[in-house]
Amino acid sequence: MDQNNPTETASPSTPEVLTHPGAHKRSLLGTLLYWARDVLFSVVLAVIVILFLYQPVKVEGTSMMPTLDDQERIFINKFVYRLHFGQIDRGDTVVFWYPGDTTKSYIKRVIGVPGDRVAVERGVVMVNGQALVEDYVPPEYRDQSEMPVRNVPQDEYFVLGDHRSSSNDSRSWGMVPRRYIYGKAVFIYWPLDKMGMLK
């Protein structure tokens, strides 16, 4: 302070900030640990979802062509029907235990739901007296089969393969009980050029 100017005051000094040389490294390490933790959590969550909600399966056979080809890989939702989060609708592609041998699994499309009347007239599927619009069955995959009217009982389903001339389905062995249906096909993951949601 200048003694000749008693009104002059000294400015308080700014506290000196000390930075430890390893502080930046610890900050970077902490960031990496947080990132690794988030990645690990995401991976564990994905594994849980895949194992307990979805199941990868391989398609074997040609009965669902052209929708699904032989050896394609798909994910099925295992709980959407079992826990009754959703109902089984006409047009769903479902995976079920084959009624004639429950050690085998089949994949087909639901055509008739409980209460429906299903018939086939020269290859044309009739549901409740009306021709079913089936854009997923190209002309070259149709046949000229005949089937008299069948009533779909309660808790049972009438299923067909999309490749009508190459499918062993409800026309031959009847309905699928509700309790045998254990999954809904939802996503193609291989081959990559067909990856996407199933229609």
Catalytic residues: 63, 108
Measured distance CA(40)–CA(167) in Å, rounded? 44
Measured distance CA(59)–CA(131) in Å, rounded? 29
Decide: 128 and 116 in contact? Cβ < 8 Å: yes
Measured distance CA(93)–CA(91) in Å, rounded? 6
Q: Are strands 147-151 and 117-121 parallel, antiparallel or unpaired?
A: antiparallel
